[in-house]
Amino acid sequence: MKFGVVVFPGSNCDADAYHAFKDALGQPTTYLWHKDHDLQGVDCVVLPGGFSYGDYLRSGAIARFSPLMQEVREFAGKGGLVLGICNGFQVLLELNLLPGAMLRNKRLKFLCQYVTIRVENDRTPFTRKGTKDQILRIPIAHFDGNWYAPPDTLKEVEDNGQVIFRYCDPEGRLTPESNVNGSLNSIAGLSNKNGNVMGMMPHPERAVESILGSEDGLVVLRSLLEKIS
Amino acid sequence: MKARILVSFKDSVLDPQGQAVRNALHTLGYAAVRDVRQGKVFDLELGDISRAEAERLLPEVAGKVLANVVIEKYAWQILED
């Protein structure tokens, strides 16, 4: 399975993602330059973390207009797998490929720490290798991760099973303290209605080797392979 | 031509930055300040276009790029012809 990591000016987790998919997962992986109009035949597009275009206007607001996003939108429309991590999640929201928007973290602090998240839906291409209620320990690093949507959108997302991960405490309980950034319903990751596009604020690509402190991110990466096997 | 676009959170959206500013003002003794909503101001200098064209362009730029209409609202005005 071939993975493509999109590179925007200001991406800073592109090399981490490349390493995770190529070396930790052992799959052919390529970089995709945002100015191109070519997805190079990849089976899964990864939008990495970082600060595309400096995030000056709004996180992901300018990256959304990059030439390659036209191909990403068509690819997603045809059921292609798209994973947005952190800033990549923000770009997917700005592209309207995922519902809602990001507000600044509730305590107005940049958060760089490990969090625990709970698998809410294990029937998606991104979580097949996990089990419902499984707790994963994965790091976050963001300023704008406070997911928000109007009440009707939130209801739709919940009713459709689009919530993939929620922030939880180490025992899997949803508490105000474990919802570090203030996201509605503690949502840490969500998919589109079809389930082929997912965004998550925690960084699975930073948790793929025990030497890094956690291998829990492999649940997400290995799930993507499951689809074609 | 000069124009101004104001972008701020919708009333239904919590504005933690505005709240922090309000709390700071209260700490400084400005008890009369009941609430603060923080937003962004964009001052645009427009080239040689008519007023009618500007009136089409400004809401388009605001709604498509400068504001995320899921959480933000915008207002615009022409300051100088």
Question: How far is it, in rounded angstroms, from Cα B3 to Cα A50?
Answer: 32
pTM of the model: 0.94
Range of the domain at A132: 3-226
For residue B9, give every residue at least 6 positions away whose Cβ sits within 8 Å of its Cβ, in sequence order, or none: B15, B18, B37, B38, B39, B71, B72, B73
Four-CA torsion A58, B20, B76, B41, nearest 10 degrees: -70
For residue A179, give every residue at least 6 positions away whose Cβ sits within 8 Å of its Cβ, in sequence order, or none: A167, A186
Q: Nearest C-alpha of chain A: how many angstroms from B53?
A: 23
Mean pLDDT of A121-141: 97
Is A61 in contact with B68 (Cβ distance < 8 A)?
yes
Share above pLDDT 70 across residues of chain A, in percent, rounded to a whole number? 99
Give me the long-range contacts of A19-23 (CB less than 8 A, separation at least 24): A19/A205, A20/A204, A20/A205, A20/A206, A20/A208, A20/A217, A20/A221, A21/A46, A21/A205, A21/A221
Question: How far is it, in rounded angstroms, from Cα A40 to Cα A30?
Answer: 8
> Residues B8-24: pLDDT tens digits?
999 999 898 899 999 99
Mean pLDDT of A9-14: 95
| Residues in chain A within 8 Å Cβ distance of B14 | 103, 148
**Residue B4 near residue B40, CB atoms below 8 Å:** no
Provide the pLDDT for residue A229: 42
Residues making up chain B, counted from first to last: 81
Tokens of A179: 């919802």
> Residues A22-67: pLDDT tens digits?
999 999 999 999 999 999 999 999 999 999 998 889 999 999 999 9
In CATH terms, the fold of domain B2-80 is Mth169; Chain: A , (3.30.1280)
Measured between CB atoms, which of A61, A108, A148 is closest to B13? A148
CATH number at residue A56: 3.40.50.880
User: Mean pLDDT of all residues in chain A?
Assistant: 96
For residue A200, give every residue at least 6 positions away whose Cβ sits within 8 Å of its Cβ, in sequence order, or none: A83, A84, A85, A86, A89, A164, A165, A188, A189, A190, A220
**Residue B9 near residue B79, CB atoms below 8 Å:** no
For residue B73, give every residue at least 6 positions away whose Cβ sits within 8 Å of its Cβ, in sequence order, or none: B7, B8, B9, B10, B67
Q: Reply yes or no on whether the pLDDT at A228 is more than 80.
A: no
Mean pLDDT of A141-155: 97
> Residues B30-65: pLDDT tens digits?
999 999 999 999 999 999 999 999 999 999 999 999
| Residues in chain B within 8 Å Cβ distance of A182 | 16
> Residues A192-227: pLDDT tens digits?
999 999 999 999 999 999 998 999 999 999 999 975
Residue in A with minimal Cα distance to B18: A108
| Residues of A with catalytic function | 86, 203, 205
Q: How confident is the model at residue B4 (pLDDT cuts 50, 70, 90)?
A: very high
How many domains are there within chain A?
Answer: 1
Measured between CB atoms, which of B17, B66, B71 is closest to A148? B71
Residues pairing with A190 in the sheet: A163, A199
**Residue A39 near residue A45, CB atoms below 8 Å:** yes
Contact A143/B at CB under 8 A: no
Q: Reply yes or no on whether the pLDDT at A163 is more than 50.
A: yes
Q: Reply yes or no on whether the pLDDT at A151 is more than 50.
A: yes
Mean pLDDT of A137-155: 97
Mean pLDDT of A87-113: 96
